[in-house]
């Protein structure tokens, strides 16, 4: 869902530059979302650790102690659902979602800004539909008292609520970034910041190596030429 500039083109612009501090109500909203995303990302990490512990307990109980398990698998699923959906807005704030950026290097910067803004608008429309359907399923599960068909039988409004809240926060993040892009330009919307992940690290290292490399004639080429002349 992220549609920021790739790390190779963004790094020169973002290196050494501070993130813009937005004024007014939009700035307060931005700072509030940043704080909320940091808290949720921390809780999401704890949820993933808890899911690993629950699954480890399930394996030990099932295969070593030969006891049946009832709640471990679904508990791990609920924890992973919460970590995934609730942290979606925080990942979007860093432009860290998977993106296809084949056109980034082919289009001029002005066309890229328009393309990325349209991509954010389309993504917002999809997330709004997803959030609406999630809240509908959540309300239906709450009213009808729907529970899982497993032997544990937890209520289904729990995962539906996690999905609904997570997608709603993601919609708010998209709205914030679109407003920032329209009001203050792409840098304020995170488009000029390097994306997180292995690809960004590789691209950043490659770009740094290119900057450190000496310019002008190749020293190795000069050495070989000198030997040939001799």
User: For position 203, what pLDDT does the model report?
Assistant: 47
Helices (H), the chain: 7-14, 24-59, 72-86, 88-93, 109-144, 157-184, 198-212, 219-229
Share of the chain above pLDDT 90, in %: 42
- In this structure, is residue 230 part of a structural domain? no
- In this structure, is residue 4 part of a structural domain? no
* Nearest-angstrom CA–CA distance, 183 and 178: 9
Least confident interval from 38-52, 103-117, 155-169, 187-201: 187-201
Residue 147: beta bridge partners?
A: 155
Residue 218 has pLDDT above 50, yes or no: no
User: For position 116, what pLDDT does the model report?
Assistant: 82
- In this structure, is residue 135 part of a structural domain? yes
Non-local CB neighbours of 177 within 8 Å, separated by 6+ positions: 92, 93, 120, 189, 190
Residue 212 has pLDDT above 70, yes or no: no
Q: How many domains does the chain have?
A: 1
Residue 158 has pLDDT above 60, yes or no: yes
- In this structure, is residue 198 part of a structural domain? no
- In this structure, is residue 50 part of a structural domain? yes
Residue 155: beta bridge partners?
A: 147
pTM, two decimals, is 0.72
- In this structure, is residue 75 part of a structural domain? yes
Q: What is the mean pLDDT of residues 157-176?
A: 95
Domain that holds residue 71: 30-98+107-191
**Best-predicted range by mean pLDDT (71-80, 177-186, 219-228):** 71-80
- In this structure, is residue 20 part of a structural domain? no
- In this structure, is residue 207 part of a structural domain? no
């Amino acid at each position: 869902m992220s549609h920021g500039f790739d790390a190779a083109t963004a790094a020169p612009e973002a290196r050494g530059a501070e993130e813009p501090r937005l004024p007014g109500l939009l700035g307060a909203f931005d700072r509030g979302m940043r704080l909320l995303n940091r808290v949720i990302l921390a809780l999401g990490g704890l949820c993933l650790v808890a899911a690993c512990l629950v699954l480890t307990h399930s394996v030990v109980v099932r295969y070593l102690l030969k006891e049946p398990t009832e709640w471990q698998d679904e508990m791990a699923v609920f924890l992973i659902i919460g970590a995934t959906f609730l942290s979606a807005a925080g990942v979007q704030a860093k432009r860290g979602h998977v993106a296809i950026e084949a056109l980034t290097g082919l289009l001029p910067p002005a066309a890229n800004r328009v393309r990325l803004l349209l991509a954010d608008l389309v993504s917002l429309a999809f997330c709004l539909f997803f959030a609406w359907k999630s809240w509908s399923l959540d309300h239906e599960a709450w009213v009808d008292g729907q529970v899982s068909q497993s032997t544990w039988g937890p209520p289904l409004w729990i995962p539906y609520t996690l999905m609904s809240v997570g997608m709603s926060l993601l919609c708010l993040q998209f709205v914030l970034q679109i407003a920032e892009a329209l009001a203050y330009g792409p840098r304020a919307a995170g488009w000029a910041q390097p994306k997180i992940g292995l690809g960004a690290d590789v691209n950043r290292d490659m770009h740094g190596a290119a900057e450190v490399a000496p310019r002008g004639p190749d020293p190795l080429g000069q050495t070989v030429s000198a030997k040939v002349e001799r």
